[in-house]
Amino acid sequence: MPDTEGRTVVPESSHLERHGYLFGHPIAHSMSPLLHQTVYDGLGLNWAQIPLDSLDMTLFLRLIQDPKFYGASVTMPHKVAILQHLDGLTPEGQTVGAVNTLFVRHDPETGKRLYMGTNTDVIGVRDAFYFNVKDPDSCVHRRPALIVGGGGAARSAVYALSKWMKATKIYLVNRDRKEVQAIIDECTSKGYGDGLIDVSTVEQAELLEGAGAIVACVPNVPVRTSEEAEARRVLECFLNKPHKGALLEMCYHPSPWTEITALGEKAGWQIILGTEAMIYQGLEQDRYWTGRGVEQLPVQKVHEAIAAEMRESRLCDVVM
């Protein structure tokens, strides 16, 4: 956290065997340190992820030189800016063009430390569906998918739905046509934009095949503008089509229960809360950092810890 003069204060880490960082701003509400601490405690590791609420890239690049550094969660506004400072990227990091995870490897010939980047947000979307939907073939596979929103989470959803979830086409529903076109152009240029369709009106939606998977990537705020109202009506049109699939709501703060989850539940869709995507992207990060498969991690303990934190947060909101 910054001190009274605006300088970043780096918490003490000498008592730890190894440490990582959560690097971004603002990060006060992030559950990432809790998630990873639950994993490390479950594995008996004297590790911790240290919150680094900062815009200072130079400071971060100096801190990661510590021999005890194992990796970092990288959040906004650094997901793209960090790319130029890395030694390599996984296919996910390269294709999505944004990194949320930094991990360390060593050159087999020289032993030089290499700082690598990947994007586990896409894994979070994928696994949120696959660990919650009992029969993907009948529910989401080989059907159109739908994404609500136009930001970074929407791009991650496009990648996951097109690469792994067998979507035949992907409908993009958003208030801003320019944002939709930007997604289409960017994803197409990177090789995973085939079958993206801008659905801008209810009349257009009525003529299209129903979706199997829906990913909502917008804040939970009341509809205000005419463009927002039309986008919401388009979504409701798809929700009310005969096939009922699974809806992943990426928003989970301050509550995972949003206006969109209420609409989906009322229409008969299976609801997957955004905490699921957050958990599975975090477990994928720990796979890189600890070298252990997700099946070797304390997955149930992580779910319990996050659920308890969400209950506590809601209670605090009510009290305040």
Active site residues: 79
Which of 235, 163, 230 is CA-nearest to residue 195?
A: 163
User: Which string of b and e fits 121-153 if b means at least 16 CB within 10 Å?
Assistant: bbbbbbbbbeebbeebeebbeebbbbbbbbbbb
Helical packing angle, 299-319 and 274-290, nearest 10°? 130
Helical packing angle, 259-267 and 226-239, nearest 10°? 30
Write the CA distances from 108 to 66, 113, 208, 221, 264, integer angstroms: 20, 10, 52, 50, 50
Measured CA to CA, the distance from residue 35 to residue 23 in angstroms comes to 15
Residue with tokens 């801190």, as numbered in its chain:
63
Q: Interior CA angle at 278 toward 276 and 280, to 5°?
A: 70
